[in-house]
């Protein structure tokens, strides 16, 4: 099988360069035999490290079972990273409806007037688009490139994952070269999306606190001016 434009070592290097050199414990990367180790005490590191490991195994021995394992591992990581992206939204000034969406809950009132909370399943593509809309409401300049090939590739990979989870025939367990290409392309696109969302929330926090600091400085100036005015008035009376 030939995957020249998405060979493992290139894909592995792209992930590390996207996340920054401090992401892994190993500072150098051998592009021929990637052996970078990932931290085991970080949810994000474990999620992404598992994907890299799954594709290292697939590259070393391309078998049908390892193809299926790579797809399952990649989308398990995607769902975990989506949870990370949603949690990062909690620092934003959310509306009550947005809070319910982020927490994936809904509320009901029974005949006695008792309010109960229920888990609410939101399909993956709607969850992602809702996340984008929440960020855009607070950060209007943000946009997500749905025209990038990574988005349709990710959606196709989701369908493959569903097919593997609920197989009906032997054909459902077969993963094509094109589907392996899709998971490469889709995962990288999604990883970039998660990083963008987290960066937008961090930038919003910085701007909010900068504004609060400025307002505090202005308040301090007013209090100081008032104090100076009172002292001046007392001196005039004397």
pLDDT, tens digit, 9 for 90 and up, residues 20-29: 434 433 333 3
Exposed / middle / buried, residue 24 (Cβ in 10 Å: 0-12, 13-18, 19+): buried
Is the separation of the CB atoms in 197 and 89 below 8 Å? yes
pLDDT band (50, 70, 90) for residue 5: very low
- Residue 215 tokens read as 């307002």
DSSP-derived 3-state class of residue 167: coil
> Quick one: average pLDDT of 139-153?
93
Task: List residues bridging with 116 in a β-sheet.
Answer: 108
Q: Which residue has the higher pLDDT, 238 or 117?
A: 117
What is the C-alpha to C-alpha distance for residues 169 and 171, in angstroms, rounded to an integer?
A: 5
Q: Which residue has the higher pLDDT, 73 or 40?
A: 73
For 20, left (φ over 0), alpha (ψ -120 to 50), or beta? left
Q: Report pLDDT for 236.
A: 54
Q: Of 187, 156, 162, 171, which is closest to residue 54 (Cα–Cα)?
A: 187
Virtual torsion, Cα 9, 11, 13, 15, nearest 10 deg: -150
Q: Using the 8-state DSSP alphabet, how is residue 11 labeled?
A: H
What is the C-alpha to C-alpha distance for residues 175 and 173, in angstroms, rounded to an integer?
A: 6
Q: Which residue has the higher pLDDT, 39 or 171?
A: 171
What is the C-alpha to C-alpha distance for residues 80 and 4, in angstroms, rounded to an integer?
A: 29
What is the C-alpha to C-alpha distance for residues 138 and 204, in angstroms, rounded to an integer?
A: 8
Q: Report pLDDT for 41.
A: 73
Per-domain residue ranges for the chain?
Answer: 4-91+149-227
Is the separation of the CB atoms in 51 and 11 below 8 Å? no
- Residue 61 tokens read as 């021995």
Residue 210 host element (H or E): helix 177-237
What is the C-alpha to C-alpha distance for residues 76 and 167, in angstroms, rounded to an integer?
A: 18
pLDDT band (50, 70, 90) for residue 235: low
What is the C-alpha to C-alpha distance for residues 11 and 2, in angstroms, rounded to an integer?
A: 14
> Quick one: average pLDDT of 138-167?
94
CA 198 to chain centre: 7
The mean-pLDDT minimum among 90-99, 181-190, 209-218, 224-233 falls in: 224-233
Q: Which residue has the higher pLDDT, 74 or 213?
A: 74
What is the C-alpha to C-alpha distance for residues 140 and 238, in angstroms, rounded to an integer?
A: 57
């Amino acid at each position: 099988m030939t995957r020249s434009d998405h060979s493992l070592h290139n894909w592995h290097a792209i992930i590390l360069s996207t996340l920054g050199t401090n992401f892994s414990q190993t500072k150098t990367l051998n592009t021929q035999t990637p052996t970078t180790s990932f931290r085991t005490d970080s949810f994000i590191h474990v999620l992404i490290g598992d994907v890299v490991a799954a594709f290292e195994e697939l590259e070393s021995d391309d078998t049908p079972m390892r193809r299926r394992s790579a797809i399952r591992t990649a989308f398990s990581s995607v769902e975990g990273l989506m949870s990370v992206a949603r949690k990062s939204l909690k620092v934003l000034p959310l509306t009550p409806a947005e809070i319910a969406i982020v927490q994936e809950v809904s509320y009901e009132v029974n005949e006695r007037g008792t309010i109960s909370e229920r888990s609410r399943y939101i399909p993956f593509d709607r969850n992602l688009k809702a996340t984008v809309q929440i960020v855009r409401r607070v950060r209007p300049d943000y946009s997500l490139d749905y025209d990038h090939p990574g988005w349709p590739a990710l959606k196709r990979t989701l369908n493959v994952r569903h097919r593997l989870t609920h197989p009906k025939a032997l054909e459902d367990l077969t993963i094509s070269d094109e589907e392996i290409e899709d998971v490469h392309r889709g995962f990288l696109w999604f990883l970039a999306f998660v990083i963008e969302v987290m960066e937008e929330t961090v930038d919003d926090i910085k701007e909010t606190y900068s504004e609060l600091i400025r307002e505090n400085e202005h308040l301090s100036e007013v209090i100081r001016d008032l104090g100076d005015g009172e002292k001046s008035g007392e001196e005039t009376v004397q």
